[in-house]
Amino acid sequence: MQNILAGHTNNYHTYGLDESLRGIAAAGFNYVELSSVMGWTEHVPIDAIDEQIAEIKGKLDALDLQISALSGHSYLTTAEGVVVGKKAIDLCTKLGVSLMNTAIGGHYSEDEDKGAFMGYIHELADYAAERGIVIGLEVHGDIMASGALSIPLIKEIGQDNVGINYDTANCVFYGDVQAVDDIRATVPYLVHVHLKDTRGGKGDWNFPGVGEGHVDFSGILKILQEEDYTGPFSVEIEFQGEPWPPVAEVDRSMKVSYETLHALGLS
């Protein structure tokens, strides 16, 4: 497989950008998914000015890291959330990245309003398309709790630059389904995959390093290879929520994740 494998800065949720980039690079990753999620993980300011962008790019260059995607979640069921979503699209343009991952209801949401979302998504998608940006809607929350639920929604949206960002643990947490049983049908609609592990079931927030839970990554990657998925991957680790573990444990989890996936053919 020739897919890009990135480390997500959200793994360092309560730490700074410097610590996250150092840890990701030290673990072996060459790519990074940057987080700019207001009220959650703001490693890149949503309103970053040119000087800040230049500083961030300098830090990436110093560690030989390239950006694979921007995580720019906002509440896309509200007008205010769409404004933030457009700022995230603008940030993609400034950073020179063409993929923005988001979710219908922000960084954590259930009981989402599909009607409100459908009233706004085309505005955001058109804004992104004009700037050459693809939107990855994450398997996350109520409406997109699984791949099976996400496919008809993507079809209903009907815009070429809107696809699925599949999360291999969120499908368990929100949808009570294993990714290995759910992901194959999503491949024609996939633009990104979050490789995330879990030790729990539905509603149990317990997301350790890749290979330290029960997600069948070997089976998932075999399916994606069979279906010719060539898009990017990003490792996401969210532990047991706040408080986050010490940074040394985050670093260790990143290293374990890279080594697990490298052994399965990703690098």
In tens, the pLDDT along 237-249 reads: 999 999 999 999 9
Residue 207 belongs to domain with CATH number: 3.20.20.150
E strand intervals along 72-148 = 99-102, 134-138
> Residues 37-57: pLDDT tens digits?
999 999 999 999 999 999 999
Q: List, in order, residues 6 or more apart from 50 with CB less than 8 Å away.
A: 94
Asked if residues 72 and 46 have their Cβ atoms less than 8 Å apart, the reply is: yes
pLDDT for 1 equals: 39
| pTM tops 0.85, yes or no | yes
pLDDT for 112 equals: 86
What are the backbone angles phi and psi of residue 240, rounded to the nearest 5°? Answer: -110, 30
Asked if residues 83 and 44 have their Cβ atoms less than 8 Å apart, the reply is: no
Number of domains within the chain:
1
5-24: average pLDDT: 98
SS3 content of the chain, % helix, strand, coil (to 5): 40, 20, 40
Residue 100's nearest CA partner among 267, 237, 232 is 232
Q: Is the pLDDT of residue 200 over 50?
A: yes
> Residues 90-120: pLDDT tens digits?
999 999 999 999 999 866 666 689 999 999 9
Asked if residues 131 and 118 have their Cβ atoms less than 8 Å apart, the reply is: no
Q: Is the pLDDT of residue 219 over 60?
A: yes
Residue 113's nearest CA partner among 158, 79, 83, 65 is 79
Asked if residues 127 and 134 have their Cβ atoms less than 8 Å apart, the reply is: no
Q: Which domain holds residue 29?
A: 5-263
Q: Is the pLDDT of residue 26 over 70?
A: yes
% the chain with pLDDT above 70: 97
257-263: average pLDDT: 98
Average pLDDT over the chain, rounded to an integer: 96
- Which pLDDT band, with edges at 50, 70 and 90, does 267 fall under? confident
Half-sphere exposure of 266 (CA within 13 A, CB side): 32
Tokens (6 digits) for 240: 């047991």
